[in-house]
Structure 1
Amino acid sequence: MNAERLYLLLHVLLSAGVLVHTFEPVTTTLAFGIAAALGRSIYNFLHESCDAKWIAFNETGLEVDLESKLFGQHIASRIILKAVTGFMSNENPKKPLVLSLHGWTGTGKNFVSQMIADNIYKEGMDSSFVHMFTSELHFPHLSHFDTYKSQLQQWIKGNVSNCARSMFIFDEMDKMHPGLIDSIKPYLDYYEKLDGVSYRKAIFIFLSNAGGEGIIEKALDFWKAGQNREELELKDLETVLSLSVFNNKKSGLWHTNLIDKNLVDFFVPFLPLEDRHVVQCVMAEMKARGLRPNKKVADQVARDVVYFPKSERVFSVKGCKTISSKLDYYT
């Protein structure tokens, strides 16, 4: 008999009074104590809690995921692995980890966020300690700006109070009302505690298409110069990226104190994907579906993708975003 069934049996017996009538008073008290202790143990076993059983960083797992599932993003892979590993290895960080991921649609920003969650939380993105905000869904109306600020602060404070190792993902930052994200600035700063709550072990991830144009221009310059994209380094992109995001009213980080006070630890650029990367995405999707990877089919799917500039067909317009639906057509 497994533990869950044993607990249910004890609960039924106690509810029916069977154990109460069968045992002497001292034994009855002991039975209630055992049942209560067992109930707590079973609850903790079956329900996610903020402890090492449910939250444990898998550095090797993250490294393997980045190498085998994320294509064409040598800069992002390197930054993410080092940043998350360093942060999760530090039992007493000075501030929360703040990552701002930028690039064109379909290049892997959401995918990387999922990888991070999967290798920290046993439940991955389904963890009750991982919280996703989408601008158009959670903050749609400018007229409710002040309400959103208050709700956002309360939500973050309440969840970090519940679990210090909480993760907050803000998608569609380029569609967020300017200034709204500044409402959480105190939680990202170097404070030991705010109103008795420490935010230093939390992770904040911002996802945005803003800055994507600058990244594409730099990648195109490399391609036109005949240089290998793998020679692109963070230093080639970081300055132009942070400035374009800071000065762009549609970035969600426009003139924000988060940048002004250097609270964003890394601006992570995601490069536009080439044909070869799209093929890799298709092969990986086949494998994920339990299908035998077929290079011929992968090439067909990749040819069906729209590229730009139109004459050279260098980069995929939508990255790997439409791969899943297109693969349905060919399989």
Structure 2
Amino acid sequence: MDAKPEILLAGANDTRLWGLTSAERVGRIAAAQGLTMAVGSDVRLPALIVNLAYAFDPAWLKYVAARPNHVVTRGGVPVLAHVTDSAAGEALFAMMAEDQPLGSAGSLILVPQEDAGGIVNDELRKRDTPFIERLIPSSVPALERASYFGAYKGVTDILTKYLWPEWALVLTRLAARWRITPNQVTALGALLCVVATILFYYGHYWPGLAAGLGFMVLDTVDGKLARCTITSSWWGNIFDHGIDLIHPPFWWYAWGVGLAAYGRPLDPRTFWICMGVIVAGYVVQRLIEGAFIVRFGIHIHVWRRFDSWFRLITARRNPNMIILFASLLVGRPDLGLIAVAIWTLASLLVHIVQLFHALIVQAQGRPVKSWLG
């Protein structure tokens, strides 16, 4: 197995991005990717030299670390270089320290950021060109925006993708400025989640929706804050995703019970049919998604363009909340719950078709791979 490169920092930069200096940010990115930082300024091979005059998406460090003898440039200036030759390493270190453009590449492979094309990010389910920009005080707002949207999932639900990205950006900036941690944001969101459940249970749907909206926005903020400040953790991931996974059935049950207090109760038979369809449909959909990852190594939502489009509206929490919100606008939250049950069943059927279609494609000897690749 090839040795991992040791990271060597070139230059100096005290400008802060998300409250971190360039060196602090690179250190956190390196630690998250299992890379070590060099001690001193000696170029020990293999080395991954980083120009501190620039800020870049973490995806670039992972990209270069896996590609010996590659140099990523911005405007002709070397920003990241994975070197295995001491002479090349010393020359590149000097260029970066003096912030000089690269002259001759020699045997190195140049990757201009402007011409790199897309890089697939499996975790965020998207393909794009990650940012690299000079880090100076005047560029901080634009860089924070670029890093925030760089941390956004490309394939997600319609509300997360289109309704509150700008709201969540403001809250993410405030949280970073006030030194609020991602886990603290998750904890506040969890409290709002419980409050929404209680309000639904007693038929107080409008304040319940307000609390639920707050929770859903914070559910975006905690992840973006963790990625932008490079503070993701095992516990934070379990805490956040555990709440996301468990709470939806409780919301739908509380909504159904609250119909009596609201004055639109469902008869017991209809109520339990709806609950059975919604809960069973939700659980089976998640099991299918997990089985798809185990079998094919990709998320079901990134296989084909249709699958990514369907993720916008599939019967998960946020699209279901749109249905319930619309039903409340016309004063019929009872019909909203029935509609959620119908949509859950329809979405489950789509998932079943997706899984069996993929199995057929694989049986025919054709690859099941993401259209983003």
- Which category of TM-score, normalised to the shorter sequence, fits these structures? under 0.3
Query: TM-score, normalised on structure 2?
Result: 0.24
Greater RCO (Cα-Cα under 8 Å, separation 6 or more): 1
> Normalization by structure 1: what TM-score?
0.26
As a proportion of its length, which structure holds more helix?
2
